[in-house]
Structure 1
Amino acid sequence: MRIWGPLAAICLGTFMLLVDVTIVVVALPSMSESLGSSLSQLQWVADGYALAVAAALLGAGMLADLHGRRRVYVAGLIVFALASVACALAPGMGWLIAARLVQGVGAAAMFTTTLSLISTLYSGRRLGLAFGVWAAVASSAASLGPVLGGLLTQALDWRWIFYVNVPFTALALAMTFRFIPRSAPVRQTARRLDVPGVALFALGAGGLVYTLTASHSHGWAAAPTLVPLALALVALAVFVVVQRRTAHPLLDLSLFRRPAFSAAMLTIALGEAAVYGVLPYTSLWLQSVQGLSPVGTGLVVLPHALAAALVAVVSGRWMPRPSPRLGATLGLTLAGLGMGLEGFLGPDSGWPALVGGLALSGVGMGLIFQVAAALALGSVPPERAGMAGGAYSTFEQLGYAFGVAAFGTLAVTTMSRCLNGTVTAPHEAAQTLSGGGADTLLAAAPASRRDALDHTLHAVFASAHNTLALTAAALCLSGAAFTLWLTRSRVRSRAAVRDAVPVRDADAVRDTDAVRDTPGAPGPAGRGTPEYEG
């Protein structure tokens, strides 16, 4: 248990927090029926959690470096459990969205410490295996969320998708205290939490997601869209300036000079945005148009989860030193081809039309999770492990949040255009349909027109889903080409690495040069292995 105990404790927390990203997907129609909601509110139930995770990750990573990773991980578990209970007790959508935001803050404290804990607890080939197991859990969790959500929603009630977190959190806490040793803080003189950086990043990221969500309700030219967009862009610009000038930044921007690090961030963000950003609308198509149950919807997605988990484990075992040129490029390419296969639905298509594409995109995502995580940690010195892990997790959750919001806007726009001339208020009908309200539109139509309208809605939703899937495919394939270009130089020299590290880290780089290579070690460059630059 000395080997598997810590990994089980870490992976249990990872599984819970990532399951909660997508577990709500199949429960959205039930939530809407129970609490009453608009499409924007449903998006915030899914998006608010991911956005809170992304906004808090960098700050949580710095706290973990300052106060100890196990301590921050435990605090995150406790906040996550309490917020889950608040979600389950929500009397309305406002309460639920607020509780999801708090739940995301707890998840951020858990998520930002998982990779750095693994990188400090394991070395050599065990580190490669640990990354593979972690990646399998991460990729399967996001995919199994709809399955578990469907089972709980159909057998009990949508509130149980949150209640179920409590016993698993208790188990994770017990295992953490039992198997994970207390970690010492990374002691750096006069280093404090970058509060302005945390606030500016949260404001910028939140403003952009809000802009995307509001755009399909108000239009891009309206003040409710343009004002938050302007504020978000200003906040992000100031964030960059502050990070470049502060002595102890929340995110050291010089890390992006390392091609492997940049490739890792690009790969995980695009993969999450393209594959999992479309998944909520796939779920709505399966339930509201195809009439599948929540469990049936989850089972349709199951091939994706199984493929992702299997590939993550195999790649972690057989590719201990992942190459961004091979792993990241291949992962994005397979994910893009899988999404492309999902983009050819017709009015009479059923769920079998999606299975092949879901499985292939699962293969791509399994590779992406394993490779991107190892590259993010392996391309930085050990004292930057917390920051690198936080950056990886931030880009992952931002990718999902932006994907859901952007594809929601695209779905409404496409449906509105297809419904123009068919219904009296195409934009309002598009918002209802994209929110899973096909039955509502049919019930409001005269009985003599329902059969024709039903066929129209099938065609409109299929057309919108095709647009989303093909757009996602184009994003993945473009990202694969850019990653291939970015990593065109295979390995950079140590002198180049020193040039890329700020003066304040020069001593750390000299220290890592003195460490002897660990044979077969896939771990961080600080352990003496070559930089993962291609």
Structure 2
Amino acid sequence: MSRARRWGGLLFIALGVAMIIVDVTIVNVAVPQVIERLHITSSDAQWVQDIYTLVFAALLLTFGRFGDLYGRRRVFVLGALVFAAASVLAARAGSAPELIAARAVQGVGGAMMLPTSLSMINAGFRGKERGAAFAVWGSTIGGTAALGPLLGGWLTTTYSWRWAFAVNVPIAAAVLVGTLVLVPESRGDDGRRGGTDLLGALTSALALTCVVFGLIEGRAFGWWHLLGTDARIAGLTWRASISPVPAAFAAGILLAVVFALVERRRARRGMSVLLDLNLFAIASFRNGNLTAGIVSLGEFGLLFALPLWFQNVRGYSAFQTGLALLPLALGSFAASGFGAVLGQKRGPLTVVRLGIGLELAGVAAVGAVVSPTTPWWAISPALFVYGAGVGLATAQLTGVVLAEIPVSAGGQGSGTQSTTRQIGAALGVAVLGTVLFTTLGRDLQNRLADQHALTPAGAAGIVTAVKQSAGASIQALQATSATADAASAAKAALSDATQWTAATAAAFLLLGLIASRRLGPSTVPARDFDEQ
């Protein structure tokens, strides 16, 4: 295959990855208009956001392996079709159940595309070109995650929330045509018989669903005791005094054990497996996944807190918030070319550690300058550095994780790596969200205690309103002279909470940097596995 065709195909693979990654963040901006136009509850709105991540994370491993067995391009293209069809359904949805169901199907399509995109790159590029291709893939993920709020803000403000979904249709069509024309089919053959590992697929999907559900919903439902009188879960009501979260974690752990036993039993019999557990005997794969998971704890946590701060403290619109976050995307894209060249000269491990270090520095700098009066341009340099770090670390760490994985097991390796990152990101958002809102409530309560004009009950009501609205009620407080001082206190408290959130994210990144020390030079082969 010619060089021009390889890189042309990579362009459409990256476009497909951009589409599914943007969809994680673009909906966050559209949700307020969805609530208003469809008259849905806040609980339903939360599921509109969460169901995509839940289904997406649960099926990455399954579809990564299916790509090995049935063709990576085939699964990728089918995923684009599923994603486009689900986007049409979401754009035409007239009720919460319709929209939630469409978002779940989008998650299926996204899970078909992400691991197969990586395994197609792993199979189609060799040597120095592989590092550059991974750089494009990694920068696409980092950059488009930050572009989601900008695109979502523009579409919902200029047109309608429905365009946040409808925009996927022409993109998916381009991905479909470009991939079929330029990307060759590839698949793995491990020489085993025994058909598709359906039991492994079922147990892994259910285990990941339970774990990711617990991580996403822990703050909403309570980590142990149920918050409120009952909890609505996809239309069902949980009325026990204990939160459903511990039950979800317990079920997830049990199912994970069953999955491991199923895989070992099938492997001993020479049958096809969803995940060959012997891959974890490869040091670069095992330690690389560990590092990727830890880094993911803090990598995108800032994108959870900063939009809330920009809109509710600084008073920016959704579109203005997207513009303020644009330096992060620019930094990520700018790092792609630089990272590939540096990786060829100094090796991928140097680039991984440099990238994590830049992320750490950028996050810490954001936390240091955030205040109720900080303008957007004071944060831009730190966001650019942070984005450059994401672009460097994501791409090269992916290369390290897959360096010694045979191409025949590329889907398994890609699916495992993607799943590790998703679980790490979900855990990071759960922890950082808890830090943000716990700190916000405690700090605001202390600040309001000094305002003698407020009764204890009045102060408690303001704290509850600010926490439950994630700061959105601050603007209403500011509009009334009687609560203007409380609004100022809330802005200061949310700024302090954002600082603590950034500090926690930086701590996770520091742990990831320390973990990367286990990735010694001997774990990265000098040449491709399949050439040895």
Selected match of 1:236 from 256, 273, 280: 256
Matches within 5 A, 1:277-292: 277-292=301-316
Relative to the length of structure 1, the TM-score reads 0.85
> Residues 381-416 of structure 1, C-alpha deviation per residue, up to 9 Å, x if partnerless?
221111111112222322333333332233222222
Q: 5 Å matches for 1:409-424?
A: 409-420=434-445, 422=448, 423-424=459-460
Instruction: For residue 220 of structure 1, report the CA deviation from its aligned partner.
Output: 2.8
**Matched residue, 1:78:** 81
- 1:452 corresponds to: 485
2:322 corresponds to = 298
Query: Is 2:286 aligned against 1:262?
Result: yes
RMSD: 2.7
State the alpha-carbon separation in 2 of the partners of residues 449 and 320 from structure 1. Answer: 62
> How do residues 49-448 of structure 1 correspond to structure 2 at under 5 angstroms?
49-183=52-186, 186=189, 188-222=191-225, 223-224=242-243, 225-247=245-267, 248-320=272-344, 323=347, 325-344=349-368, 345-420=370-445, 422=448, 423-425=459-461, 428-434=464-470, 436-439=472-475, 447-448=480-481
In 2, Cα distance between equivalents of 1:41 and 1:342: 32
CA 1:176/1:220 → structure 2, altered by over 3 Å: closer, same or farther?
closer
Q: What is the alpha-carbon distance in structure 1 between the residues aligned to residue 462 and residue 207 of structure 2? A: 32
Q: 1:5 to 1:137 in 2, by over 3 A?
A: same
- One-letter amino acid matched to 1:242: V
Question: Compared with structure 1, are the counterparts of its residues 321 and 28 closer, same or farther at alpha carbon in structure 2 (3 Å cutoff)?
Answer: farther
How far the C-alpha of 1:94 sits from its partner, in A, is 4.1
The whole-number CA distance in structure 2 between the counterparts of 1:388 and 1:297 is 36
Where do 5+ consecutive residues of structure 1 fail to align?
495-519, 529-534
Give the secondary structure class of the aligned counterpart of 1:221. Answer: coil
Q: How many pairs were matched up? A: 496
- SS of 2:460's partner is coil
Q: Which amino acid aligns with 1:175?
A: G
- Classify 1:347/1:130 alpha carbon distance in 2 versus 1 (closer, same or farther; 3 Å): closer
Q: Which amino acid aligns with 2:282?
A: R
Match of 1:465 in 2: 498
Q: In structure 1, how many angstroms separate the alpha carbons of the residues matched to 2:342 and 2:382?
A: 25
State the partner residue of 2:451: none
Q: Is the 8 A contact 1:76 1:109 kept in 2?
A: yes
Distance 1:188 1:293 in 2: 56
State whether structure 2 residue 477 is matched by structure 1 residue 477. Answer: no
> TM-score with structure 2 length normalisation?
0.85
- Per-residue deviation, 1:438: 3.0
Q: Which amino acid in 2 is paired with 1:229? A: F
Match of 1:9 in 2: 12
1:6, distance to aligned residue in structure 2 (A): 1.6
Matched, 1:487 2:519: yes
SS of 2:77's equivalent in the other structure is helix
How many Å separate the matches in 1 of 2:437 and 2:125?
47
Q: Quick one: structure 1 residues 252 and 189, their matched pair in 2 at CA, closer, same or farther if it must change by over 3 Å?
A: closer
Q: Single out whichever of 27-36 and 308-317 deviates more from structure 2.
A: 27-36
How far apart, in 2, do the equivalents of 1:448 and 1:22 lie? 35
Change (3 A) 1:266 1:25: farther
Q: Is the 8 A contact 1:274 1:403 kept in 2?
A: yes
